Amino acid sequence: MLELYALAVGPLAWLAFGVFVIGSLARLFSMYSLAKKKDAAFLSYMTWRYSLRSIFHWLIPFGSLGWRENPALTVVTYVFHICLFLVPIFLMSHIVMWDTSFGFTYAALPDGLADGLTVAVMVACLFFAWRRLSLPEVRFVTSTHDWLVLVLVFSTFSTGFLAYHQIGDSLTLTTLHILCGEAMLIAIPFTRLSHMLFGFFSRGYIGSEFGGVRRAKDW
């Protein structure tokens, strides 16, 4: 187990971050090339002003019709996504690892708070799972892929949580947590989680069409 742990925090961690960063850039670049090649006539309507205007309205909770009409999901998804970035970046145990590897640190979230936010993410995942099972319109379009990405996020947070609370074998769980986290990072550019990369562009494009051509709002 110790060897696996060493592998996970060493080479695999490099691999995961490498694939995440390079993979994301490569996917963005290749999509941009494809857009230039096949959708140039539409790309030319994209403007910063209207892209950002639309993204801005959609970043505000309840700032758009879609959010207002789905209030529960709106609250949950904001909490979920904010914590998704906040917790791993500002978690003491994570910062400690940056420190031991590269010798730099920064302000951390209090452990208790981070722990609470972790629970929030797990509850959000359960809420998403509940929607997928019980809301007919979500169930109708759900496939294995959607479950896979949800399970990836949930496992990363739940194993981290268990490891932190030293429930079960600490080394095993920490190792498992790290492997899950790495799998999730690797999955971002290549699965539906790529909405993190492309979502801003699809929103921006529609925002530009609505703002620049159709002169109407799209939120």
At residue 44, φ and ψ (nearest 5 deg) are -65, -15
Helix (H) or strand (E) holding 3: helix 2-9
Instruction: Read off φ and ψ for residue 162, nearest 5 degrees.
Output: -65, -40
From the list another protein, ligand HEM, none, which binds 81 (C-beta under 5 to 8 Å, kind-based)? ligand HEM
Footprint (CB under 8 A) of another protein, residues 95-134 = 131
Among 19-27, 39-47, 148-156, 204-212, which window interacts with ligand HEM (CB under 6 A)?
148-156
180's CB contacts (< 8 A; 6+ apart) are 152, 155, 156, 159
**64, 86, 90, 115: which one binds another protein (CB under 8 A):** 64
Looking only at residues 48 through 77 of this chain, which bind ligand HEM when binding is defined by CB under 6 A? 73, 77
The footprint of another protein on residues 8-47 (CB under 8 A) is 31-32, 34-35, 37-39, 41-42, 44
Out of 21, 105, 199, 217, the residue judged to bind ligand HEM by CB under 6 A? 199
Q: Which two tokens stand for residue 114?
A: 């981070």
Which tokens belong to 98? 């940056």
**Closer of 14 and 147 to another protein (Cβ):** 147
Contact with ligand HEM (CB under 6 A) among 51, 53, 54, 177: 177
How many CA atoms lie within 13 Å of 140's alpha carbon, on the beta-carbon side? 3
